[in-house]
Chain A
Amino acid sequence: MDKKYLFKRNSIWWVKVAVPSKFREQFGFDLRQSTGEKDLDKALLVRDGIVSDLKSKFLGSNIEDKSTKDFLKKTDITDPQYFHKVVDCQYACPAHTNVPEYIRLIAQKKYTDAYMLNWESNVFPGILGRTCDRPCEPACRRTRTHDKPVAICRLKRVTYDNKGDIEDLIPETPKVKNGMRIAMIGAGPASLTVARDLLPLGYDCTIFEKDSKPGGLMRTNIPSFRLPESVLDEEVYRIIKMGADLKTNSYIEDLEPLINDFDAVFVGSGAPKGKDLNLPGRKEAKDNIHIGIDWLTSIAFEHTKEIGKKVLVIGGGNTAMDCCRSAIRLGAKDVKVTVRSPFNRMKASDWEIEEAMEEGIPILDNTSPKEFLLDEKGKLCGMKFDKMVMKDIDGSSKLVPSGEEVIYECDDVLLAIGQDNAFPWIRKDIGIEFGEWDMPVVDKTTMQSSHPKVFFGGDAAWGPENIIWAVSHGHQAAISIDNFCSNVDLNNRPDPITNLVSQKMGIHEWSYDNDISQAKRFEVPHADLSKALDDLKMEVELGFDEKLALEEAQRCLNCDMQTVFEEDLCIECDACVDICPTDCINFIDNDTEQEIRGKLRVPALNLDQSLYVSGELKTKRRMVKDEDMCVHCGLCAERCPTGAWDMKKHKYIEGHTLNNKIKVKEVA
């Protein structure tokens, strides 16, 4: 009798099916199931059914050599972060400014709307349009598809320079307050953002500032040849005018009374202590050695008006660049910047280094300060440096003295080697925990310290960053303070406001200009250098004029115009594959992400960029689009006969306290 597949165990007949070798990793050597029958004849009746059931476990599935469990899943485009990530600039911006939208508004000459869109998310468009560290620009898609990024930052400045009257567009502060009093320490960008986000909700905001004018680092450390005082004053005082109670010349000696007097306290006091360099000769030469940020502050308040003829600036960050350029304008004739590291590892932004070099300032890299030198009268006359060299030590390359020493003469030295936080005014016993390097312990999401009523933001939270990060911290702190004062869980953060709307205006018409500009990045005009170097307050960059701005705006690829695919409508005619100028679109059998990335028309090697995967199509294939190089030209949607592709604008507004309450005009 045919007893194939059957074996007996404890007088019950079982079915055993061998698993082919390629499935063994997943299923083991064989699959077994009891027939439940003691009688062979009865077992034979059910045998075939069980065999095919067992076999179908591996044969019925699509697996050939590997498990399908790691195969790509259909992309969930309802997750707001998916398309947000495609808009590289907006995703990279700490405040998630809607860059493509404001650039389109510039192209339509709607400067006021463009300004307000910026103001809503980054609060200081005029200031940031001149001074931002621009995390958006290295992220710009154009750096991958073309060459240089869109001049996003300078276009932001265009919105400020060309805007109309915006007084009516600023949210109103209610006359009747909600009874909650919030203290803010330091009138810098972080505190001002918190105030802006809380004032329209009825909070009573008091800002304590140690200097005589508000603005914080924006006023004291950014020279006015980069940021004119008028721009700074307009945007800073706009927030004060919204109803904040500003107390200038009010250095806080002790935090504790504020905690008791107010419902919540926001610490946005920055990182105000410039690092010193304790080398031989430091004490003796102290009259001619200046801490960079303090020196810049005293220029801003016009206490310092001159400097020696020969100046050495120590350090390679943006403060060093501001120091050397300020020194030239105060009359120094020979200014040098010395940097300990190699040139390509300098911390300063590329454009700030470029501008300093354009003003004729040499940057001496691999030069590590060793000693302050004094003349016979005991006055500073120069500095001795070690030349440094990169060497492989224990497998890692390290910077070590080469043995060569150099001496540079100087009358003054400016130290710009970093900043520290300093909280001498926060006593250790009031419930605020300090961790490593004497920094407060602050929650990354809520900005709350270990004292529930005290929140930190800006440079005060995690050390020196830049303005746009301070703004981002301010938004988050405002949400937390609002939640805290309303007895809502601090982790209950507002969702981003998103929507996805088709931009189809006709068979082949789109609401946006989908013609890709192939122009190179336009240069921002500069003031005449000979005049600019004599005047500390003369702005060096002139900004784009309208003609240049409109041309630069055309370079934007409209990354928020998303290619949205509906597999149910697709007839797999390949029209989109053929028309796509950057070969992003593929129809391919499903596989693991790694395999698929290698098999695309152009392999998707940039792992930071997502693959957009459809559900299964009629031929069992999937549409897989590599988001990396898509230029959002909409040709896939134009060539699609069934409307399976559509261009939809993805609006993304990061959640903050003013959502739904702000009066910025809605732009279609």
Chain B
Amino acid sequence: MSFIKPINHHPRLEKNKLGLTRRDYEGAISTLCAGCGHDSISACIIEACFQLNIEAYKVAKLSGIGCSSKAPAYFLNQSHGFNSVHGRMPSVATGANCANGDLLYLGISGDGDSASIGIGQFIHAIRRQINMVYFVENNGTYGLTKGQFSATNDLESKNKYGEDNLFKPIDLASMAIQLGASYVARSFSGDRDQLIPLIKGAIQHKGFALLDIISPCVTFNNHDSSTKSYDYIRNHNEAVGKTDFVPLGEEITTSYKSGSSVEVNLHDGSKIALEKVNSKFDPTNPGNSLNYIREKSEEGKLLTGLLYFDESSEDLHETLNLTKTPLNQLKQDELCPGEKVLEKINESLS
């Protein structure tokens, strides 16, 4: 078994504006099962960070417990990381975010970590609009404990041993829209052309971005009667349209049919261009999005793509009027402004 990926890379490998190659954004060699969808997602995160010229030391990777929560070890090995208690990643993200708003927070979670043990935390992270990208690597199964149903497994899906799932699934994307998440997308680990622009958009978005990514579990949930297998998702995937990420200062070059395209402005000036398949779909209207997801679900289709977007959202830092300077960079006189200031405060209270 190989524990180290050879360090040599293709001599003509593309470099980004920082002079780094895609390989410079990698992590340790994965110990997940061969063919795990989570590894594809890691590769897409690597690609997105490479393309956005992100400096790894300005990223914090946060996770809980589960197969998905191991994944941060497999990308951006020069970034900060925190592997927290099961389902408690949102709390750590909230604290870290309050202390230092300068970092890019990538929360990596799974369906067990977010839809079961951590669902309370998940809900409040959304409600508080933590500025982070929240990845749910959703495989509908508890892979780490040998393949029990998770809370996102579909009603008609069977487990590997042929038993029926008796409960309806939680749809994390719909839930996030209801709770006011300002960027909600769903994708499939096997469709990197769709996933990479969505990750790039989520990174550039200010506010809570949820990426619910169907990520087949090759070991326990990739059989014929599973609804989260590679084959099933490929056959039932319906994208809301083609998504392009357009960096700041670049023109949208693709020409879309009139009326079918939506442009979404991100706070740093970059854009997401969406060519819709259905002209009635409006990703900026939460009611419309929820209906459309439900409609497709009833048809037996999995709706993917950028499902909902709110340009005008404000994040936790703005709501609480927190300092923009990271706490670890505040000087003594800023942290402890002295007697005069204290007197002023006391006076204002009298």
- A residues contacting B by CB (< 8 A) are 144-146, 507-509, 514-516, 518, 571-575, 577-579, 581-584, 602-603, 605, 618-619, 629, 631, 633-635, 638-642
Complexed CA–CA distance, A181 and B35 (Å): 64
Nearest CB on B from A517, distance (A): 9
Decide: A575 and B9 in contact? CB cutoff 8 A.
Answer: no
**CA–CA, A642 and B35, complex, Å:** 8
A172 CB → nearest B CB, Å:
45
List A contacts of B218 (CB < 8 A): 571, 573, 641
Flag if A146 contacts B8 (CB, 8 Å): yes
Is B14 an interface position by the 8 A CB rule? Answer: yes
Which residues of the other chain, A, contact B22 by a CB distance below 8 angstroms?
583
- Cα distance, A633 to B29, chains bound together (Å): 13
B309 interface contact, C-beta 8 A: no
User: Are B10 and A572 in contact, CB atoms less than 8 angstroms apart?
Assistant: no
- Contact partner of B8 (CB less than 8 A), chosen from A571, A582, A638, is A582
Q: Is B249 engaged at the interface, CB distance under 8 Å to the other chain?
A: no
On whether the beta carbons of B6 and A574 are closer than 8 Å, the reply is no
User: A581 with B12: in contact, given A572-B230, A573-B35, A574-B40 (CB under 8 Å)?
Assistant: no
B residues in contact with A603, CB < 8 Å:
12
Q: Give the 8 A-B CB pairs with smallest separation, nearest first.
A: A641-B35, A508-B1, A578-B43, A516-B6, A573-B35, A641-B218, A581-B6, A641-B34
Give the residue of B23, B35, B43, B192 whose beta carbon is less than 8 angstroms from that of A571: B35
Q: What are 22 A-to-B residue pairs whose CB atoms are below 8 Å? A: A507-B1, A515-B4, A571-B35, A573-B35, A573-B190, A575-B35, A575-B39, A575-B40, A578-B42, A579-B29, A579-B30, A581-B6, A581-B7, A582-B6, A582-B10, A583-B13, A602-B14, A618-B234, A629-B10, A631-B8, A638-B34, A639-B39
Q: How many residues of B contact A (CB 8 A)?
A: 35
B8 pairs with A518, CB closer than 8 A: yes
Residues in B with CB closer than 8 Å to A633 are 2, 6
Pick the contact of B7 from A509, A518, A584 — CB < 8 Å? A518
* B contact residues vs A (CB 8 Å cutoff): 1-2, 4-14, 22-23, 29-30, 33-37, 39-40, 42-43, 189-190, 192, 216, 218, 222, 230-231, 234
| Given contacts A508-B1, A583-B9, A633-B2, A619 and B234 within 8 Å (CB-CB) | yes
Task: Report yes or no: A573 in contact with B9, Cβ–Cβ below 8 A.
Answer: no
Complex CA distance for A433 and B190, rounded to whole angstroms: 67
Report the separation of the CA atoms of residues A318 and B42 in the bound assembly, to the nearest whole angstrom. 54
The residues of A that contact B234 with a CB separation of less than 8 Å are: 618-619
Minimum CB–CB distance from B215 to chain A (whole Å) comes to: 10
In the complex the two chains form, is B6's CB within 8 Å of A518's CB?
yes
Evaluate contact between A582 and B34: CB separation under 8 angstroms.
Answer: no
Q: What is the CA–CA distance of A629 and B11 in the complex, to the nearest angstrom?
A: 9
A333 to B192, CA, bound (A): 70
The reply to whether B36 and A575 contact each other, CB–CB distance below 8 Å, is yes
Given contacts A573-B40, A575-B34, A641-B35, contact A635 B10 (CB under 8 A): no
The residue in A144, A571, A605, A631 that gathers the most chain B C-beta atoms within 10 A of its C-beta is A571
**Residues of chain A within 8 A of B39, CB atoms compared:** 575, 578-579, 639
User: Quick one: which of A514, A516, A602, A640 contacts B10, CB cutoff 8 A?
Assistant: A602
Minimum CB–CB distance from B37 to chain A (whole Å) comes to 7
Is B5 touching A579 in the complex (CB atoms < 8 A)? yes
B189 — which chain A residues lie within 8 A by C-beta?
573-574
Contact between chains at B33 and A641 (CB < 8 Å):
yes
Among candidates A572, A635, A640, A641, residue contacting B190 with C-beta atoms closer than 8 Å: A572
CB closest chain-B residue, reference A603: B12
> Are A514 and B12 closer than 8 Å at their CB atoms?
no
Q: Which chain B positions have C-beta within 8 A of A602?
A: 10, 12-14
User: In the complex, what residues of B have CB within 8 A of residue A516's CB?
Assistant: 6, 8
Neighbouring B residues of A514 by C-beta, 8 Å: 2
Which chain B residue lies CB-closest to A631?
Answer: B6
Residue of B with least CB distance to A575: B35
Q: How many Å lie between the Cα of A516 and that of B2 in the bound state?
A: 10
Chain B: which residue is nearest A645 at the CB level?
B34
A514–B218 Cα gap in the complex (Å)?
Answer: 25
